[in-house]
Amino acid sequence: MSDIEQKIKINGIKSGILLGVIITALSIISYYFITTTKSPALFVAAPILFSVFIPIFCVVFLCFNQRKKICGFWTFKQATTGIFVSFLIAYLIQFICVTLIFNNFVAPDNLQKTQTAAINMKTIILKQRGDKQASIDKDIAEMQKDFNQQKNATIGSTIQGVVISILFIFLFALIFGSLFKKDPPAYTTQAT
């Protein structure tokens, strides 16, 4: 392994740890926010803000930072490798801290609280739209069915979820690698 490849992987690990801590914190903040808010608009907007916009901003910043640490240039392969390592480490930190520790030990009733908050907000939104009670009851029953499936997750479904997540991480690493690659300039010499 060349020195530059090792540097890319080390920077990817460091960025991944930072990104993992940020995403873990945002996940926990989002949980507390959506289970305590009384506004349907904030209930819908908060998860998008906490799980999409802020993490994407952090990822873009970290990608530029990783590239800068190796003299500002990296090929598509180098970019994809560094970003994949970063994303994978961040995912593992978030999975361990939120899925395994927070959900099981800190807030074991989080699924129930999230379900209650989601059902309450869905009911408010549907009533504001003027939906009939039968339609509201049908939508609520579907939501409860989805939450019950999440409650009854098996080890096999958890492993399947992890594998699918890693595939998506690789896909996103390819996308971000193509966006943030910056090949070194090609120097040509002219014959005299």
78-116 pLDDT, tens digit each: 999 999 999 999 999 999 999 889 988 998 888 888 888
Gyration radius (Cα) of the chain, Å: 22
Burial of 59 (0-12, 13-18, 19+ CB in 10 A): buried
CA distance 53 to 64: 17
Write 65-68 long-range contacts (CB < 8 A, 24+). Answer: 65/15, 66/8, 66/11, 66/12, 66/15, 67/180, 67/182
Q: Please, what's the b/e burial string for 144-183 (b: 16 or more CB within 10 A of its CB; e: otherwise)? A: eeebeeeeeeeeeeeeeeeeeeeeebeeebeebbeebbee
CA distance 111 to 126: 22
CA distance 43 to 134: 23
| pLDDT of 133 over the 90 cut | no
Predicted local distance difference test score (pLDDT) of residue 190: 56
Residue with token string 């530029």: 64
| pLDDT of 188 over the 70 cut | no
- Other CB atoms within a 10 A radius of the CB of residue 121 amount to 19
Total-model pTM: 0.85
Q: What is the mean pLDDT of residues 42-65?
A: 92
Could you state, in order of their start, the residue ranges of all structural domains in the chain? 3-180
DSSP letter, residue 182: B
